[in-house]
C-alpha cells in the first residue's frame, strides 16, 4: 500500500478506542462506489481516508461495488474506478460486488419476519409517504402492520416469486412509527422491481434498499469501521438496528460519518458531471476541466498532490467549502521539485538583434530547475532572430513595467542584455518585429560593466522554434452576479506558441514548467501525428495562502 500521511483525526481516535477496548482486534474498511459514473476529487477524499486508515493500522480495505440497484453495469465506469484507485496509489484487498450478497440479504429479511420485525405492506408509495409523518408529527401505522408472521412469510415468498406487480407490495422493517428519527419509522427494506441485473440476471424481482443492504454488506465482509458521509448520520440507528436484529453477526461494524468534500468553482455531483459529458459541454469524463480523477490526471495533477490535498483538508464533522486554491497549491508544491523548465513564448513577438551576425547561432546555458541545482543545466540556441512572449513587451509601458519597451534594456535569461531600439509595424498597425541591439560584453556568467537592468525575460530562437498548442484552463464554474455557480464560458482558452527545440521530444503525459508561465503537461490524447498540445496544470503564482 502506498505511503500516506493521513493526519490524526477523530475517526482514528474512535478506532484507537475500539482497539484499546478490544471491540475489534484489526481494522477493515471498504470503499463502496456505485458504478454509475467516474470518480471525482470527493471520492478521492473517501479513498484516501479508507485506504489510508487501513494502511495506518496495517489493516485491509476492500473495493466493493454498490450495485444493489438493478441498473445495467457499465464496464466503462468499473474500469475507470479501478484505474483511478490504482493511479492514486492504493491497492484493494478484495474486489467485491454487493449483488453477490443478495441471498444473505434475503435470508436476513426472512429472519426479521420470523422475529416479527418485518412485514409486507400493501400501501402505495404515496400512502407510505403520507403515513410517515413529519419532523414534528409522528407517523401513522399501516393497516397491514400487524399481519401474522406466517402471512408475511407467505407474502414475501410470493413477492420473490413474482406474483405481484412492481410497487404493489413492499417489505418494511417494523420499528417505531412514532420515532423522532424518521428513518426508524418502519423503513422499506425490499421493493419489487422487474429489471435485469448485470450480475444476477433475472433471478430476482425484489431488491434490497440501501439502508438494509449496506450494513449487511459491511458485516459479511468483516468490515470493522464503515466510514461514510454525514448525510448518513441519521441513518446510523437503522444501520445498527439491522445488524443487531438480524443477529447473524456477533461483532458488527461501526459506522462513522465525516463531512463530504466541497470545492469552490466546480461541481461534485455525478449526475451533473454526467450531464456535462452527455450534453457535450466538456470533452468527456476526462476533460481536463472536470473535477474527476481522470480529468485531474489528464490535466497533469499527480497522485501525490491529490493525496497531499486530501490530507491537508483533513476530516471533519462540519460541512465546509474548500478553496480550489488549496488543490492548486498542492500540485504546485509537488511539481516545483520534480519537473524541468522549458522556454515557451505565447502570443509571440519577433525580435531582431540588428548587431548580431546573420548566420551565427550560439548555445547559451539555462538551468533546468531553479529550485533544484541538481537537475542541471541545458543549452538553448540564441541567434539574430528570436521570439519573446507577447506579455513581455509594451509599446507604451505601464507604471513599474520593467520588461521590453522602446528604449529599455532587459536581460534575456541565459544570454545578453538586449535593448529595444525600434518597433516595426505591419500595414494594419500590428507589430511586425522589434529591432533590438545586444551588448556582447554582458553574456551571462561572463561579467559585464556593472550596469544593472530591472527586467529579465526569456526567449525562443526563431529558426529552431517549435510550434505548439497551449490549452489554458479557467475554472469550470464561476459565480454569476447573484453569486450562483454557473458554467464558465472561458474555461478553455487555446493559444499557439513557440518552444525551444528540446520540447519537441516531449512524450504524452510528460510535465514541464514553462519558464515564467506555469506547469504544463503534454496532453495524453492530443499529442499525436506530430502535434504538440500542452495543458496548463496550474500557473506559477497564486494569491492563495494556505494557513
Ligand atoms: P452521487 O453523486 O451519485 O450521489 P455518491 O457521491 O454517493 O454519488 P458513490 O459512488 O455512492 O457516490 O460514493 C462512493 C463513496 O464515496 C461513498 O462512500 C461516498 O460517501 C464517498 N463520497 C462521495 N462523494 C464524496 C465527497 N464529496 N466527499 C467525500 N466522500 C465522498
Ligand atoms: Mg451514492
Nearest CA to ligand 1 atom 9: 33
Condensed to tens digits (0 to 9), the pLDDT of residues 64-74 reads: 999 998 876 78
Condensed to tens digits (0 to 9), the pLDDT of residues 30-71 reads: 999 999 999 999 999 999 999 999 999 999 999 999 999 887
What is the band of 184 on the pLDDT scale with cuts at 50, 70, 90? very high
Q: Average pLDDT for residues 179-192, to the nearest whole number?
A: 98
What is the band of 545 on the pLDDT scale with cuts at 50, 70, 90? low
Q: What is the mean pLDDT of the chain?
A: 95
Beta-carbon contacts of residue 128 (< 8 Å; ≥ 6 apart): 121, 142, 170, 172, 188
pLDDT at 279 (0 to 100): 97
Nearest CA to ligand 1 atom 8: 270
pLDDT at 443 (0 to 100): 87
- 42 touches ligand 1 (CB under 6 Å): yes
Condensed to tens digits (0 to 9), the pLDDT of residues 236-254 reads: 999 999 999 999 999 999 9
What is the band of 544 on the pLDDT scale with cuts at 50, 70, 90? low
What is the band of 361 on the pLDDT scale with cuts at 50, 70, 90? very high
29, 32, 38, 43, best to mutate for ligand 1 pocket (most atoms within 8 Å of CB): 43
Beta-carbon contacts of residue 269 (< 8 Å; ≥ 6 apart): none
Ligand 1 center to 50 CA (angstroms): 13
Ligand 2 center to 236 CA (angstroms): 16
Q: Chain centroid to CA 509: how far?
A: 17
Please state the atom number of ligand 1 nearest to the C-alpha of residue 40: 24
CA–CA distance from 390 to each of 296, 393, 456, 494, 532 (Å)? 29, 6, 14, 15, 20
Phi, psi of 215 (to 5 degrees): -60, -35
84, 229, 271, best to mutate for ligand 1 pocket (most atoms within 8 Å of CB): 229
CB 539 within 8 A of CB 299: no
pLDDT at 452 (0 to 100): 87
Q: What are the residue numbers of the active site?
A: 34, 260, 270
Ligand 1 center to 33 CA (angstroms): 7
pLDDT at 320 > cutoff 90: no
Beta-carbon contacts of residue 217 (< 8 Å; ≥ 6 apart): 30, 32, 64, 66, 98, 101
- 117 touches ligand 1 (CB under 6 Å): no
What's the rounded Cα separation, in Å, for the pair 223 and 27?
Answer: 7
Please state the atom number of ligand 1 nearest to the C-alpha of residue 260: 28
Looking up cell 452527455 gives 278
What's the rounded Cα separation, in Å, for the pair 299 and 40?
Answer: 13
Phi, psi of 36 (to 5 degrees): -120, 20
pLDDT at 1 > cutoff 80: no
pLDDT at 6 > cutoff 60: no
What would the grid cell of residue 40 be? Answer: 471525482
Beta bridge partners of 255: 226
Condensed to tens digits (0 to 9), the pLDDT of residues 97-144 reads: 999 999 999 999 999 999 999 999 999 999 999 999 999 999 999 999
What is the band of 446 on the pLDDT scale with cuts at 50, 70, 90? low
Condensed to tens digits (0 to 9), the pLDDT of residues 472-518 reads: 999 999 999 998 999 999 999 999 999 999 999 999 999 999 999 99
CB 267 within 8 A of CB 212: no
Q: What percent of the chain has pLDDT over 90?
A: 92
pLDDT at 248 (0 to 100): 98
What's the rounded Cα separation, in Å, for the pair 63 and 39?
Answer: 13
What's the rounded Cα separation, in Å, for the pair 508 and 524?
Answer: 5
Number of the ligand closest to the Cα of 32: 1
pLDDT at 445 > cutoff 80: no
Q: Which residues of 15-49 are buried (b: 16+ CB within 10 A; e: fewer)?
A: beebeeeeebeebbbbbbbbbbbbbbbbbbbbbbb
- 261 touches ligand 1 (CB under 6 Å): yes
CA–CA distance from 236 to each of 99, 117, 243, 432 (Å)? 22, 18, 11, 70
Beta-carbon contacts of residue 374 (< 8 Å; ≥ 6 apart): none
pTM: 0.94
Q: Which residues of 53-89 are buried (b: 16+ CB within 10 A; e: fewer)?
A: bbbbbebbbbbbbbbbbbeebeeebbebbeebbeebb
Q: SS3 sequence, 380-416?
A: EEEECEEEECHHHECCCCCCCCCCECCCCEEEECCCC
Ligand 1 center to 263 CA (angstroms): 14
Ligand 1 center to 103 CA (angstroms): 26
- 344 touches ligand 1 (CB under 6 Å): no
The secondary structure of 191-235 as a DSSP string is EE----BTTTBTS-SEEE-HHHHHHHHHHHTT-SEEEEEGGGGGG
- 139 touches ligand 1 (CB under 6 Å): no
Amino acid at each position: 500500500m502506498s505511503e500516506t500521511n493521513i493526519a490524526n483525526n477523530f475517526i482514528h481516535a474512535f478506532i484507537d478506542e475500539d482497539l484499546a477496548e478490544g471491540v475489534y482486534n484489526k481494522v477493515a474498511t471498504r470503499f463502496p462506489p456505485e458504478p454509475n459514473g467516474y470518480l471525482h476529487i470527493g471520492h478521492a477524499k473517501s479513498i484516501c481516508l479508507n485506504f489510508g486508515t487501513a494502511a495506518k493500522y496495517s489493516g485491509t480495505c476492500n473495493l466493493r461495488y454498490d450495485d444493489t440497484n438493478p441498473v445495467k453495469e457499465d464496464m466503462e465506469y468499473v474500469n475507470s474506478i479501478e484505474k483511478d484507485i490504482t493511479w492514486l496509489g492504493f491497492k484493494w484487498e478484495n474486489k467485491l460486488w454487493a449483488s453477490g450478497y443478495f441471498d444473505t440479504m434475503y435470508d436476513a429479511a426472512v429472519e426479521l419476519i420470523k422475529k416479527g420485525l418485518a412485514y409486507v405492506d400493501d400501501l402505495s408509495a404515496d400512502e407510505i409517504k403520507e403515513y410517515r409523518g413529519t419532523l414534528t408529527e409522528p407517523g401513522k401505522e399501516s393497516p397491514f402492520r400487524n399481519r401474522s408472521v406466517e402471512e408475511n412469510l407467505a407474502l414475501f415468498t410470493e413477492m420473490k416469486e413474482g406474483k405481484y406487480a412492481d410497487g404493489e407490495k413492499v417489505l418494511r422493517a417494523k420499528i417505531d412509527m412514532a420515532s423522532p428519527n424518521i428513518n426508524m419509522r418502519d423503513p422499506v427494506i425490499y421493493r419489487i422491481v422487474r429489471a435485469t441485473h448485470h450480475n444476477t440476471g433475472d433471478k430476482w424481482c425484489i431488491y434490497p434498499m440501501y439502508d438494509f443492504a449496506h450494513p449487511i454488506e459491511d458485516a459479511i465482509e468483516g468490515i470493522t469501521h464503515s466510514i461514510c458521509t454525514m448525510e448518513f448520520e441519521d441513518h446510523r440507528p437503522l444501520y445498527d438496528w439491522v445488524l443487531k436484529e438480524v443477529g447473524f453477526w456477533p461483532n458488527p461494524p461501526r459506522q462513522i460519518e465525516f463531512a463530504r468534500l466541497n470545492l469552490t468553482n466546480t461541481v461534485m455531483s455525478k449526475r451533473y458531471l454526467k450531464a456535462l459529458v452527455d450534453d457535450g459541454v466538456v470533452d468527456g469524463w476526462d476533460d481536463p476541466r472536470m473535477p474527476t480523477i481522470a480529468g485531474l490526471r489528464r490535466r497533469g495533477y499527480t497522485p501525490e498532490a491529490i493525496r497531499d490535498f486530501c490530507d491537508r483538508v483533513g476530516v471533519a464533522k462540519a460541512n465546509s467549502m474548500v478553496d480550489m486554491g488549496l488543490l492548486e497549491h498542492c500540485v504546485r508544491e509537488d511539481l516545483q521539485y520534480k519537473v524541468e523548465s522549458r522556454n515557451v513564448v505565447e502570443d509571440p513577438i519577433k525580435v531582431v538583434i540588428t548587431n548580431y551576425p546573420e548566420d551565427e547561432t550560439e548555445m547559451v546555458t539555462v538551468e533546468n530547475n531553479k529550485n533544484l541545482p541538481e537537475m542541471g543545466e541545458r543549452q538553448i540556441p540564441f541567434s539574430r532572430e528570436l521570439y519573446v512572449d507577447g506579455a513581455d513587451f509594451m509599446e507604451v509601458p505601464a507604471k513599474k513595467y520593467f520588461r521590453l519597451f522602446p528604449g529599455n534594456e532587459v536581460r534575456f535569461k541565459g544570454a545578453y542584455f538586449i535593448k529595444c531600439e525600434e518597433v516595426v509595424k505591419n500595414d494594419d498597425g500590428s507589430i511586425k518585429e522589434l529591432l533590438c541591439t545586444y551588448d556582447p560584453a554582458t553574456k551571462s556568467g561572463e561579467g559585464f560593466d556593472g550596469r544593472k537592468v530591472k527586467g529579465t525575460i526569456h526567449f525562443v530562437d526563431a529558426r529552431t522554434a517549435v510550434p505548439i498548442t497551449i490549452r489554458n484552463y479557467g475554472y469550470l464554474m464561476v459565480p454569476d452576479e447573484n453569486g450562483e455557480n454557473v458554467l464558465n464560458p472561458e474555461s478553455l482558452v487555446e493559444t499557439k506558441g513557440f518552444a525551444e527545440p528540446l520540447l519537441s521530444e516531449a512524450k504524452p503525459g510528460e510535465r514541464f514548467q514553462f519558464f515564467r508561465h506555469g506547469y504544463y503537461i503534454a496532453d495524453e490524447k492530443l499529442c499525436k501525428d506530430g502535434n504538440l498540445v500542452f495543458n496548463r496544470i496550474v500557473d506559477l503564482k497564486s494569491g492563495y495562502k494556505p494557513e
